[in-house]
Structure 1
Amino acid sequence: MRVCLICEGCYPYIPGGVSSWVQMLCTQFSDVEFVIWSIATNREEMSEVCYEMPENIKELRTFYLGEVALNKKYRSVQMTAEDHQVLKALVAGKPEEIDWKRTLEFVKQYRTRLEDILMGEDFYQICLEEYDRRKSKKVFFQFLWNFRNMYFPLMNILSDEIPQADVYHSLSTGYAGILGSCVSYAMQRPFLLTEHGIYTREREEDIIRAQWVEEDFKEIWIDFFKKMSLIAYQQATVVTSLFQVNKTLQVELGCPEEKIRIIPNGVSVESFGELAAKRTGDPARFNIGAVLRVVPIKDVKTMILAFADVKDRVPAARLYIMGNCGENPEYYQECEELVQALDVQDVSFLGQVNVMEHLADMDLLLLSSISEGQPLAILEGMAAGLPFVATNVGDCRGLLEGENGEDPAGLIVPVMDSAAMADAIVYCYTHPKERLKMGQAGRRRVCERYRKEFFLKEYRALYNQLGEEQHGGNRV
């Protein structure tokens, strides 16, 4: 069997939870041939492979969104009236009103001419009509080029040569999802869509906060990502979700409920269990660890603010931030500057390290994210018998609090509330017996529900099912 994994902004260039998940999947399924189709930002940020890819990854193909440019010459495309309406619905229609079957047929038909269409008369007229309808106060050519900049990367991706595979498997909606949708339709192969987080909601949060998107265009960009998610949900043979709350969100965003299967993440219980047995503890120090990428969505600044408060009350506290610092250099510099401005001691950015070499020395772990799915960092910490203080995002509450009155494996605090996080950390420091009890509860929960063997068994069955059926095309 040959599976094409379509990754966006992660494997194999950016370390993190999703990338670790891909590495585990490919390594464990040694009898499956994988093609990695990676959608990256630009070569400067994402060119160095951060993982030792197993031999069954037969091809790595990378599409750099930031390195494509419009050709100065393009050919006129004579479109039928029906095709014009399909393009108009995609660009200017409401997401729920688009005929996705016709849209996919349109993309398949014009796959090698999409850039010509973008620069052609039909696209121009559609944007002009939309400009008038919205009564935009922007100069028209600014409006037009905003739409071209929106659809140009998408159309270039869809024009790429399609790798052969028995199953196409996208790890998010967005660009990866619509690419998987279109190639599965064109090749008439099954399409599996896995969502670790809810891409549409994450992009909506990004756009609302973004300064690169002018206020007049924010709604247009949000609708654009909703359209891409809808086409992926409609085309997918199976959609997987990590937990019930995310499944509910997928249904709200237009995914047919009958397609969704909940498959939680899993970790190597035995490997991390050895760390729990080695933990000795140093009464002269209170070591706090954070395993994360230093990027805005992880809200490292709130963590630093919380630690500054903790340090005043607990001089023995030490904070070790473990993870990639190079993905967003500007944000990393801002975090370092915040540490200096607060004049807080004992904050260490360790960069990309072997986490297992450090967890045995930790007393408590933190997660301060403003958005998550079902974090592998929490599962790994729980497997190592470590308690957590985490924000109330994604499945963090479900992981740490369990269900039906189970013993907690940590404490949940509100998003962006440094005072609440600081209080929770101090509570854990002043209640060592309770802290030990939380670590033990987390270890039990992972052993019972979140072993890597469980999720691998589910995906093995899915791959076998989809590979045997071979009828992924024309599902919309």
Structure 2
Amino acid sequence: MPAQTLPPEAPHAPSADVCLLMEGSYPYVAGGVSTWTHDLIKAHADLTFHVVALVADRSARTLAYELPPNVTGMTHVYLQDPNPGRRWMPGTGRFLAALESPLRRLQQGGGLEEVAEIARLIAAKKGWVGRHILLNSEESFEMVVRMCRSALPDASFLEYFWGTRALMSGLFATMLAPMPACKVYHAISTGYAGLFAARAKLENGRPALLTEHGIYTNERRIEILMAEWLFEGADTSLALDKKKRDLRDLWLDTFASYSKACYDACDRIFTLYGGNQEFQRRQGADPAKLMVVPNGIDYAGYSKVVRDTADRPPTIALIGRVVPIKDVKTYIRAAGILREDIPDVKAMILGPLEEDSGYVEECRTIVKHLGLEDTVIFAGRVKLTDWLGRVDAIALTSVSEAQPLVILEAGASGVPTVATDVGSCSELLLGRPDEIPPLGPGGAVTPLASPLETARELRSLLLDRPWRDRCAAAIAKRVARYYDKVEIDRIYRAIYDEHIAMPTRPTLFDPTHHLGSVRSGAA
């Protein structure tokens, strides 16, 4: 992509209509959520957008998307490197002692009240506090010692120190970052993006919205349970009588607190399918705020993909990032099983390779070990419409998804899918509860981490042409009926117009402010 001048950083950027809060995704990381965001901005060209990109550190980054002209500003939040602040401040010990209580409660299932207290304390010391005082001072070390003794007295202090430091670094970076002036704040996940939305609502009194593609705490739970570095000394047994709280519990409880704070602060909470709403309710979201708005795709564009009728090998594809959550290894093993019945099958992997180089290398090693060098092809990031005409079926082997765009995009192009039973995959492929009349299956659903089942369903689609044609027709009709982006864009525009027009509410620093008004969304 050619070099592009980024919009100005806050606070010098002009006020925007909508502030999009993006954690680890747009505009630097390609993927389904990022593409959704990019299309959302382009679909509302007469609105102005400010992008807050929450990223790991200050290293140089390359844009994965060319920013549309209606993105008028950007703010970066460096989660591992908060703004430095001063090296000394009078009353540091008293300040950190006051901060300690809400920090402890956030690690044990707190929520918006704790975030508000932390935001007030930090705002009162604006210009003073930063990384030096909050993370690197002698007083902050003493605070962490007290927190460890209170929260996890049996844990290794070294593990607690570094684990808590990582959590607090992200929290403080989010609290210290410049706050762009916008009419609506729209978080595209909970986590740190959701924390920023809560802070914006508290400080600016403007409406906050949340769209969850996947449930952030569920995805973090998977990552945390797989993070060996986090639990080298922890008891990771599955014993039912496990009672002692460990570092894993602290991380999970902290992210649950962040989600609850975001749910309480936001005026409306959107997700892609009904199944996600049950998770949101369990984590404290007000059912009155919940609304399903599915993903939409450019049906008109994808439906024009021309099928390649030339003599070519049977072809399957996994479309997505080569990262552990996509379980590309199961796809590769399924391709090996499939080759036993279809020797000339080609198994494409169409997606970015740069996000987790170690995992990519592990996948390549499996390909070599199974002798699949001529079968499995890593094509990298591609223009999907150039490839779908040459693909007979796609496989999605992810261990966690929400509502995968690739199923919709392939479906609009007349390509059926075999997918794991995660997120809304079953609903997309087998039909929605309100689907009248039923359209029939658009592919098949398989258990997690099952190469044999994945291969079996792909084999049926490749070798049984009438079955493949029926599935292709069904998924194409389903996408046209329920997931056309034209209708989804209309829904979001109505949401934006409604909240842009809302009056500003009392802020955290207004003497009339009451936390209950933030939770309820009342004016």
Band the TM-score falls in, shorter-chain normalisation: over 0.9
Following superposition, the deviation at residue 430 of structure 1 comes to 2.0
1:374-413 to structure 2, matched below 5 A, reads: 374-403=403-432, 405-413=438-446
> Is the alpha carbon distance of 1:327 and 1:173 closer, same or farther for their aligned partners in structure 2, counting shifts above 3 Å?
same
1: CA distance, partners of 2:186 / 2:399: 27
Residues 72-81 or 161-170, more deviating: 72-81
Runs (4+) off by over 6 Å: 69-72
TM-score by length of 1: 0.93
Following superposition, the deviation at residue 389 of structure 1 comes to 0.5
Is 2:198 the partner of 1:181? yes
1: CA distance, partners of 2:112 / 2:66: 44
| Alpha-carbon displacement from aligned partner over 1:353-399 (angstroms, at most 9, x marks no partner) | 11110101111111110000101111101111110001111100000
1: CA distance, partners of 2:183 / 2:228: 41
| Structure 2: stretches of 5+ with no match in the other structure | 1-15, 235-245, 508-514
2: CA distance, partners of 1:350 / 1:310: 20
1:68-467 to structure 2, matched below 5 A, reads: 68=82, 73-75=87-89, 76-77=91-92, 79=94, 83-84=98-99, 86-95=101-110, 101-110=116-125, 112=127, 113=129, 115=131, 116-118=133-135, 119=137, 121=139, 124-125=142-143, 127-132=145-150, 134-138=152-156, 140=157, 142-214=159-231, 215=234, 216-275=246-305, 278-282=306-310, 284-344=312-372, 345-403=374-432, 405-467=438-500
SS at match of 1:31: coil
1: CA distance, partners of 2:472 / 2:62: 36
> Is the alpha carbon distance of 1:358 and 1:102 closer, same or farther for their aligned partners in structure 2, counting shifts above 3 Å?
same
Between Structure 1 and Structure 2, which shows a larger proportion of helix residues? 1
| Alpha-carbon displacement from aligned partner over 1:85-131 (angstroms, at most 9, x marks no partner) | 75254344433696555455445445652543454647734642542
SS at match of 1:290: strand
2: CA distance, partners of 1:273 / 1:91: 48
| Alpha-carbon displacement from aligned partner over 1:317-359 (angstroms, at most 9, x marks no partner) | 1111111111111111111111011101221111111111010
> Is the alpha carbon distance of 1:201 and 1:348 closer, same or farther for their aligned partners in structure 2, counting shifts above 3 Å?
same
User: Over the residues paired in the alignment, what is the CA RMSD in angstroms?
Assistant: 2.4
Asked whether the equivalents of residues 86 and 103 of structure 1 are also in contact (C-alpha less than 8 Å), the reply is no
Following superposition, the deviation at residue 164 of structure 1 comes to 1.3
> Is the alpha carbon distance of 1:324 and 1:452 closer, same or farther for their aligned partners in structure 2, counting shifts above 3 Å?
same
1: CA distance, partners of 2:112 / 2:175: 22
> Is the alpha carbon distance of 1:443 and 1:227 closer, same or farther for their aligned partners in structure 2, counting shifts above 3 Å?
same
SS at match of 2:229: coil
Q: 2:74 aligns with which of 60, 72, 75?
A: 60
Asked whether the equivalents of residues 365 and 389 of structure 1 are also in contact (C-alpha less than 8 Å), the reply is yes
Asked whether the equivalents of residues 109 and 256 of structure 2 are also in contact (C-alpha less than 8 Å), the reply is no
Following superposition, the deviation at residue 283 of structure 1 comes to 5.2
Asked whether the equivalents of residues 107 and 182 of structure 1 are also in contact (C-alpha less than 8 Å), the reply is no
1: CA distance, partners of 2:134 / 2:29: 33
**Amino acid in the other structure paired with 1:208:** L
Asked whether the equivalents of residues 20 and 188 of structure 2 are also in contact (C-alpha less than 8 Å), the reply is yes
Following superposition, the deviation at residue 149 of structure 1 comes to 2.6
1: CA distance, partners of 2:159 / 2:115: 28
1: CA distance, partners of 2:40 / 2:107: 39
SS at match of 1:218: helix
1: CA distance, partners of 2:491 / 2:412: 21
Asked whether the equivalents of residues 90 and 103 of structure 1 are also in contact (C-alpha less than 8 Å), the reply is no
Following superposition, the deviation at residue 58 of structure 1 comes to 0.9
2: CA distance, partners of 1:468 / 1:97: 25
2: CA distance, partners of 1:102 / 1:154: 13
Partner of 1:31: 46
**Amino acid in the other structure paired with 2:329:** K
Asked whether the equivalents of residues 77 and 120 of structure 1 are also in contact (C-alpha less than 8 Å), the reply is no
Asked whether the equivalents of residues 412 and 475 of structure 2 are also in contact (C-alpha less than 8 Å), the reply is yes
TM-score by length of 2: 0.85
**Amino acid in the other structure paired with 2:76:** T
**Amino acid in the other structure paired with 2:489:** L
| Alpha-carbon displacement from aligned partner over 1:233-268 (angstroms, at most 9, x marks no partner) | 111111111110001111111111111111001011
Asked whether the equivalents of residues 8 and 176 of structure 1 are also in contact (C-alpha less than 8 Å), the reply is yes
| Structure 1: stretches of 5+ with no match in the other structure | none
Partner of 2:237: none
Is 2:52 the partner of 1:22? no
SS at match of 1:310: helix
1: CA distance, partners of 2:24 / 2:285: 23
SS at match of 2:50: strand
1: CA distance, partners of 2:97 / 2:139: 15
Asked whether the equivalents of residues 7 and 37 of structure 1 are also in contact (C-alpha less than 8 Å), the reply is yes
Partner of 2:5: none
2: CA distance, partners of 1:265 / 1:217: 36
1: CA distance, partners of 2:304 / 2:480: 13
Residues 301-310 or 120-129, more deviating: 120-129
> Is the alpha carbon distance of 1:385 and 1:110 closer, same or farther for their aligned partners in structure 2, counting shifts above 3 Å?
farther
| Alpha-carbon displacement from aligned partner over 1:73-96 (angstroms, at most 9, x marks no partner) | 343436479945752543444336
Aligned residues: 472
Following superposition, the deviation at residue 281 of structure 1 comes to 3.2
2: CA distance, partners of 1:358 / 1:47: 28
| Alpha-carbon displacement from aligned partner over 1:180-238 (angstroms, at most 9, x marks no partner) | 11122111111111111000010011101111212341111111111111111111111
> Is the alpha carbon distance of 1:131 and 1:98 closer, same or farther for their aligned partners in structure 2, counting shifts above 3 Å?
farther
Residues 367-376 or 179-188, more deviating: 179-188
**Amino acid in the other structure paired with 2:364:** E
> Is the alpha carbon distance of 1:317 and 1:352 closer, same or farther for their aligned partners in structure 2, counting shifts above 3 Å?
same
| Alpha-carbon displacement from aligned partner over 1:288-314 (angstroms, at most 9, x marks no partner) | 122101111101000000001101111
Percent same amino acid among aligned pairs?
Answer: 29
**Amino acid in the other structure paired with 1:22:** T
